[in-house]
A and B are shown apart, each in its own frame.
Chain A
Amino acid sequence: MASASAGSAAGSSLRRSRPRYGEAVIKGLLLAAALVSVATTVGIVASLLPPALRFFGEVGFGEFFGGTEWTPLFKPPSYGVLPLITATLTTTALAISVAVPIGLAAATYLSEYATPRTRKVLKPVLEVLAGIPTVVYGFFALTFFTPLLRDLWPGSGEGPEIFNGLSAGLIMGVMIVPTVASLSEDAMSAVPQSLRQGAYALGSTRRLVSIRVVLPAALSGIVAAIVLAISRAVGETMIVAIAAGLKPEFTLNPLQAMQTMTGYIAAAGEGDLPVASFDYTTIFAVGLLLFVLTFAMNFLSIRLVRKYREVYE
């Protein structure tokens, strides 16, 4: 109707024939979706801060970060957070030492070596593995992997305790393998075929193409995968709560029982601490520390990726 007069009614023919409210609505909805995550983050900080500030009003940073005993419920209490940090460090390091090499190897296999048919079968399997609830991994660590470790422990030493960081960390690594593999594979598959061809034409083997061309070109995606893996390991709760124990120990010895930051939050949160009590604020202090650590790590990784990635095109 409007277009029928387009030729004759010069001047007005290029105007919008009817308003497009739909566009504005869609744009608004999408913006709202984006804002949800921002709002959640702000909300988390806002709810962590007041109790955490109350905690730090009574306990100085020196005691918190310098003390080697975490016994907030004892009389007299001790608020040194280092045991929780060493436990998180130990289990995370173990998990990463499993997840990154195996995940990268799996990704390299899928992206560079597997036939399209193998890839089509394996990749969904991997992604299903990523969906197993972590509580299952936790019991697997406690009831299967720890006894196995204790049975097979070589030499005369004690071997791992019933609850220990080793078993929890390693199984946590297994849990994270699919995440690292899947994300890294995406990054590697996105590297243009023309780069591989160029490398093959110079007499590269498949191994050299993978290591010297594909991996560096996919580096930003791979680093992102590793950072996500670290974040998951630091934040993982069920596996460590079940298999690593509930005893805050200032140690890096993975054979001992240990309590991570998340482990403490879970245990204390489930306990019967009165909500208004001072003890209750310890949860928020540890929670805030966890939040800051993860945030700093993500920030750092973004900087690293910007600096080292190879941009194709």
Chain B
Amino acid sequence: MTTTSSRLSTSQGVPVTGRPGGAGPVQPTVVNDAVEGPFDLVDTVFEVADVSVFYGDYEAVRNVDMKIGKRRITAMIGPSGCGKSTLLRCFNRMNDLIPGTRLGGKITFHGEDLYGDHVDPIEVRRRIGMVFQKPNPFPKSIYDNIAYGPRVNGVKRGLDDLVEEALVGAALWDEVKDKLKQNALALSGGQQQRLCIARTIAVKPEVILMDEPCSALDPIATAKIEDLMQNLTRDYTIVIVTHNMQQAARVSHRTAFFTADVDREGVRHGRLVEYDETSKLFTTPSDERTEAYITGRFG
């Protein structure tokens, strides 16, 4: 019963995007060189304008402005408690699930107000997926985990192909193709996290948000996920929160550095300090707080 023209209102079927991952030429691994031109020439997916986020009366994030480019990996770094996760959850309205959360300012998704009256948060989350810090597969079979998203979105036929495609896209297919009926919780932590990524891309979203996706994983599993992220940029826009600066430097095109300011009453508010090409931010930061953080003098 949607009368609005809003593209984010209630869904009608699943739009078919390109085959994620899968075959095709391998992208160059040095991603910072893969940025084809100045940021202004890249399509903007999200535009964050003067955004503040409140938990009740507490302003956790204050006055953030930034743009997120299409098919780019954008990293958010900064000391813990500076509001990275809070801001990330605003991009797919996961914060709606926390009672008392409020957003000031405006976030647009392809120019459309993400918090507009006609916007359906369910549809938003279908288009903008999320991977969490701790792998959280459902206590179901590997197959059912992947098929969950398509099923709740009304897909009934072709599930087998979808599942395979998603697992191939998440570089997990070869490891699990013989045990799709096995419980997902029997997988290793790294495999579980790739399963969660596969589960997300099975819905064919446009954006994948990742909140410290590797913080519970060992270095080998982390390297696999980082490789995977490189491949995913062919089809997806990725925003990743990480406390690991090396990771941000390795994988992202652009990096946003956040920190927490203490106001006169002693309350901490997250602020965006600097947002730039990753290569520039890590070599010639323009703010001394960024420099202090990346050289390890603080945080």
Contacts and interface: CB of A to CB of B under 8 A. Distances in A.
Interface of A: 115-116, 192, 194-195, 197-205, 208, 212-213, 216-217, 310-313
Interface-centre pick from B126, B136, B137, B153 (highest chain A CB count, 10 A): B136
A311 B185 contact: yes
A201 B129 contact: yes
A202 B140 CA distance: 16
A202 B97 contact: no
B6 to A, nearest CB: 16
Contacts of A213: 138
Contacts of B132: 194, 197-198, 201
Interface string B181-210: 001010000000000100110010000000
State the main secondary structure of chain A at its contact with B.
Answer: helix
A311 B140 CA distance: 9
B23 interface: no
Contacts of B139: 195, 216-217, 310-312
Interface string B123-153: 1011001101010111110000000110111
Interface residues of B, number: 29
B92 interface: yes
Contacts of A195: 136, 138-139
A203 to B, nearest CB: 3
A261 B218 CA distance: 62
Interface of B: 11, 92, 94, 97, 99, 122-123, 125-126, 129-130, 132, 134, 136-140, 148-149, 151-153, 183, 185, 196, 199-200, 203
Given A197-B94, A201-B92, A216 B140 contact: yes
Contacts of B151: 212
Nearest to B145: A198
A149 B84 CA distance: 61
A202 B148 contact: yes
Interface-centre pick from B125, B126, B151, B152 (highest chain A CB count, 10 A): B152
Given A200-B97, A202-B203, A203-B149, A312 B126 contact: no
B138 A198 contact: yes
Contacts of B92: 201
In order of increasing CB-CB distance, the 4 nearest A-B pairs are: A203-B126, A310-B139, A201-B130, A202-B149
